[in-house]
């Protein structure tokens, strides 16, 4: 089998780094694209080459054209978008070389999965449980909704990630004022107003899958132990598990979307009652993909093989009970958790318990990317003052 060179983008973060390592360890040469500077994956010894591109948020056509030029320059046969740049790739894929294999879903399917409003509506249509959800048609609806929904509740921008654009509210007045504030702050259009959801108890689980034109080819489930943001958000420590209930929901959602490529679905799961609720779909690679790989689920390589050969043998076996930790994210999260956690001593004790089998960002054989990651987050913090910064155009 001829091994084609692969382009991956969004190379500044640990997600692309994990995909890079997985592919290169299987003998694939990987070209890494990223924004100017701060390329965690691009600085890795495993990267074959690297290139820069303009922002996919503010200059989507310029971004796609830069990828097309890199594909021709490096004679790449496969392109795997890593993060939200998947949307301009799907929208403008006719600007990319015809011979470049891009194993992703249609723009319409990706947009439906990314938009929390359409995701929730689709879940209802295929009998996948969701939290009690409201879709305001305008601010005039807020008074009625605020009196009917239980508290605490969540306001969620329809297009967001990593707990960005999610606001917890505890009273009717709080809901109305924060909702209006969110619309004004993020300049939300009338046809994309935030949804409102009842907060549901339970543990956060995530099911990641690989699909080939509506047929499942790989599945992996993790349970969150800790997140970067207090009360939810990006996972910083997790364990590999099984959950047949949630896996069936995830398969039902993706097969009904005729999904192609990688996706991760996040759920709240009440372990005492055995009830799960879909929270969102990430129609792309996810932050803990290194955990999947280290547990024996090489989704990036299976994804590559599927693009190259048209299909791949199903892969469902992996190691249960393996724990992974995103070190930098956990340290950043410490600042958010400590002031809000009631039992601070217990939290510190848990934080200082290094019982994980794997670190998602620190690898002894390739230390430079870890240091580049620290510098990138420090630069972002000094520029924005935020530990969870939002790039221009990200929440548009």
Contact 4, 78 (CB under 8 A): yes
Length of the chain: 396
Strand, helix or coil for residue 213: coil
| Whole-number pLDDT of residue 388 | 60
- pTM for this entry: 0.94
Backbone angles phi, psi at 105, to 5 degrees: -75, 175
pLDDT per residue as tens digits for the range 234-277:
999 999 999 999 999 999 999 999 999 999 999 999 999 999 99
User: Is the pLDDT score of 394 beyond 80?
Assistant: no
Residue 106 CB neighbours (<10 A): 15
What domains can be seen in the chain, in order of their start residue? Answer: 6-102 (3.40.50.720), 132-198 (3.30.1490.20), 203-363 (3.30.470.20)
| Whole-number pLDDT of residue 229 | 87
Cα 168 from Cα 175, distance rounded (Å) = 8
pLDDT per residue as tens digits for the range 16-55:
999 999 999 999 999 999 987 668 999 999 999 999 999 9
Q: What is the DSSP letter of 140?
A: G
User: Is the pLDDT score of 98 beyond 80?
Assistant: yes
In angstroms, the Cα distances linking 118 to 56, 192, 195 are 23, 10, 10
Question: What is the Cα Rg of the chain in Å?
Answer: 20
- With b for 16 or more beta-carbon neighbours within 10 A and e for fewer, the 139-155 pattern comes to eeebeebbeebeeebbb
């Amino acid at each position: 089998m001829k091994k084609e060179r692969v382009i991956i983008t969004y190379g500044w973060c640990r997600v692309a780094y994990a995909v890079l390592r997985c592919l290169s360890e299987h003998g694939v040469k990987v070209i890494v694209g990223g924004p100017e500077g701060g390329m965690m994956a691009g600085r890795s010894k495993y990267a074959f080459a690297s290139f820069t591109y303009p922002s996919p948020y503010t200059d989507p056509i310029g971004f796609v054209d830069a990828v097309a030029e890199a594909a021709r320059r490096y004679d790449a046969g496969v392109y795997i978008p890593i993060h939200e740049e998947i949307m301009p790739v799907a929208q403008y894929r006719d600007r990319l070389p015809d011979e470049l294999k891009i194993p992703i879903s249609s723009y319409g399917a990706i947009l439906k999965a990314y938009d929390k409003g359409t995701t929730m509506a689709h879940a209802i249509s295929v009998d996948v449980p969701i939290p009690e959800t409201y879709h305001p048609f305008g601010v005039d609806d807020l008074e009625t909704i605020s009196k009917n929904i239980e508290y605490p509740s969540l306001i969620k921008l329809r297009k967001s990630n990593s707990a960005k654009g999610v606001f917890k509210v505890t009273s009717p007045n709080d809901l109305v004022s924060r909702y209006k504030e969110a619309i004004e702050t993020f300049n939300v259009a009338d046809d994309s107003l935030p949804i409102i959801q009842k907060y549901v108890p339970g543990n956060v689980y995530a099911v990641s899958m690989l699909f080939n034109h509506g047929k499942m080819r790989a599945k992996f489930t993790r349970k969150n132990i800790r997140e970067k943001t207090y009360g939810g958000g990006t996972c910083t420590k997790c364990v590999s598990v099984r959950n047949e209930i949630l896996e069936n929901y995830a398969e039902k959602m993706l097969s009904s979307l005729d999904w192609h490529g990688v996706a991760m679905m996040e759920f709240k799961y009440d372990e005492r009652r055995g009830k799960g609720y879909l929270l969102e779909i990430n129609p792309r690679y996810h932050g803990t993909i290194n955990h999947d790989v280290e547990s024996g689920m090489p989704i990036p390589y299976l994804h590559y093989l599927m693009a190259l050969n048209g299909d791949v043998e199903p892969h469902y076996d992996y190691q249960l009970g393996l724990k992974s930790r995103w070190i930098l994210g956990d340290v950043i999260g410490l600042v958010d958790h400590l002031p809000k956690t009631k039992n601070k001593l217990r939290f510190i004790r848990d934080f200082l318990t290094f019982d994980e089998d794997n670190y998602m960002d620190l690898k002894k054989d390739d230390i430079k990317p870890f240091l580049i990651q620290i510098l990138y987050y420090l630069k972002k913090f000094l520029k924005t003052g935020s530990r969870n910064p939002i790039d221009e155009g990200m929440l548009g």
